[in-house]
Amino acid sequence: MNSTAIRRRTIDSSKQLGGLHPVLARVFAARQVESPAQLEHGLQRMLPFHQLRNARQAAQLLHAAMAAGQRILVIGDFDADGATSSALAVRALRAMGAADVDYLVPNRFAYGYGLTPEIVAVAAGQRPDLIVTVDNGIASLEGVAAARALGIKVLVTDHHLPADSLPAAEVIVNPNQPDDTFASKHLAGVGVIFYVMLALRAYLREIDWFNQRRLAEPNLAQYLDLVALGTVADVVPLDHNNRILVAQGLARIRGGQCCPGLRALLRVAGRDLAYVTAADLGFAAGPRLNAAGRLEDMSYGIECLLQDDDSAADAHAAQLDRLNHDRRRIEADMQAQALTALAALELRDLPAGLCLYDSSWHQGVIGILAARIKERCHRPVIAFADANDTELKGSARSLQGLHMRDALDSIATRHPGLLVKFGGHAMAAGLTLRKDRYGEFQQAFAAEVASRLDEDALQSVIHSDGELDAADMNLQLAQQLQFAAPWGQHFPEPVFDGEFTVLQQRVVGEKHLKLQLRPAGGGAPVAAIAFNAQQYIAAGLPQRIRIAYQMDVNRYQGDVSLQLLVRAIVAAE
């Protein structure tokens, strides 16, 4: 656990959130919740699909293909958002009567990201009439042109930020495209295709499709488990609309109404469906699904999500679990190499923006490596691996305050030709550059970050929701906090801070500390655990400490108890 500052959030006490436990009211006020309506997660609170630009046109295009019995090919991305988007599109289209629908996902090592001309050539072998991109396509100008040259229509559904030019697709649905007034700009790719399916069902209902075809009209809420998984795994901001989608998906999962593939992924990860939270989707199901795209082929993950039989789903989930173990081993080796390279440098000597490269690194794991080193060094990081003999692939992870895609765009403008291509979000992006220009890019990236972030932004800080009274440090409140909302990006799980007396401390698992603490102001002792606390193990903790912590519900062999998850330890004042 690295040296970290603890700062308390600013809380607007004027916000009217009556009826809640005072601690919950404080937590929500600190997350800019203005009224109780923003805490309601009913589907009636969702933004309507007709507000999403081109949703109706997309529905009409899909209907035309379905009515003519044409082949529809879904082409997705090779991450968890792309996998859930692909599975949802295939499932929903089939349920609404599409007679010929299949999917294709690019292998990242052979074709790279998006609808490239190369993947269009592969797709052409399946003779599709309509390609539907999910979680990609907004930057695929050449790929869309290649498809249309072959007489294949293209519907782009995406959520990534567009460049100055848009592809010449028949229809584009993306809340971030110019002139789209949709209020939530943070839909994940799976959220976008879910909205398109809502528009399609409404259009088919309008033209009496289901009655004429003697089809049962599908309840699209059955796919919200996939929407929740893709939304959380893609780490998009959980604005109110996304919280509704995630909350509804979690409710279905806890009620045992999720697809067999997701149920199997959670089961193989040791999660109890009845108590699943957004964190379980992000840290248990998501990584196992992502492992397929990182090491092998994401079709393994999509097939898992398309299974309707529990035993088949279990077999696919077991395979994904094995891939995830392999991914963790590879990542650990890469992280050790990276930390060794950084060990000779003091933190103050590191550039504001850090680039790392090793010719032995696995291209599929560099994104996770960048995230881990970012957490260690608290600065934006780009990790690179060989793409081929002449090019490098980079995966970037950012901090709050630095929009990564905008930073890369600025570098591309200042240094024409330096980047072969790039794209992404505020917090994560991907790029390609020539090997012989790596050193030039290192300097350009460090300078760009330094111009956008000051020294304070590069300090590791945990934002606290304040101190808890000893009377509030109880299991009941911990359970309320756990399920009060879907916690995640831009709507973080509550963290508190306070001073404690250390009553007991012992090492578990060689690098974690199991603690018994008493609040400094008095009260009953409480159990706590500090993960990855190697720096404190040799010398031991002092008798009095100040910590930042989360209230956790520890379920073990039928027992349920309160446990504090220690996020940071600092010297008591």
Enumerate domains of the chain plus CATH numbers. Answer: 47-322 (3.90.1640.30), 345-458 (3.10.310.30), 465-571 (2.40.50.460)
Query: Is 199:61 a contact under the CB 8 Å cutoff?
Result: no
Query: Is 263:273 a contact under the CB 8 Å cutoff?
Result: yes
Beta bridge partners of 102: 73
Cα first-last separation, the chain = 19
The SS3 call for residue 363 is helix
- Please list, in sequence order, all residues whose beta carbon lies within 8 angstroms of the beta carbon of residue 518, skipping any fewer than 6 positions away: 500, 501, 503, 524, 525, 526
Residue with tokens 């899909």: 62
The SS3 call for residue 499 is strand
* Cα 370 to Cα 44: distance, rounded to the nearest angstrom: 39
- Please list, in sequence order, all residues whose beta carbon lies within 8 angstroms of the beta carbon of residue 460, skipping any fewer than 6 positions away: 2, 3, 4, 5, 378
* Cα 275 to Cα 201: distance, rounded to the nearest angstrom: 32
Q: State the virtual CA torsion across 232, 235, 241, 243 in degrees, nearest 10.
A: 50
What per-residue confidence (pLDDT) applies to 1? Answer: 44
* Cα 181 to Cα 230: distance, rounded to the nearest angstrom: 23
Exposed, middle or buried: residue 471 (CB in 10 Å: 0-12, 13-18, 19+)?
exposed
* Cα 287 to Cα 462: distance, rounded to the nearest angstrom: 24
- Please list, in sequence order, all residues whose beta carbon lies within 8 angstroms of the beta carbon of residue 384, skipping any fewer than 6 positions away: 355, 356, 357, 361, 366, 392, 393, 394, 395, 438
Query: Is 71:190 a contact under the CB 8 Å cutoff?
Result: no
What per-residue confidence (pLDDT) applies to 19? Answer: 83
Q: What is the pLDDT of residues 93-151, one digit of tens each?
A: 999 999 999 999 988 777 777 899 999 999 999 999 999 999 999 999 999 999 999 99
Query: Is 426:403 a contact under the CB 8 Å cutoff?
Result: yes
Copy the structure tokens of residue 278: 């957004």
* Cα 279 to Cα 264: distance, rounded to the nearest angstrom: 17
Q: Which residues of the chain have pLDDT under 70?
A: 1-3, 13-14, 344-348, 573
* Cα 533 to Cα 512: distance, rounded to the nearest angstrom: 5
* Spatial CA neighbour of 259 closest among 298, 311, 305: 305
Residue with tokens 């590069």: 458
Q: What is the pLDDT of residues 524-555, one digit of tens each?
A: 999 999 998 888 887 889 999 999 999 999 98
**Sheet of 171-173, strand order:** 101-104, 72-75, 130-134, 153-157, 171-173
* Cα 464 to Cα 441: distance, rounded to the nearest angstrom: 36
* Cα 144 to Cα 156: distance, rounded to the nearest angstrom: 9
* Spatial CA neighbour of 494 closest among 557, 540, 454, 550: 550
Query: Is 233:276 a contact under the CB 8 Å cutoff?
Result: no
Q: Record the pTM.
A: 0.91
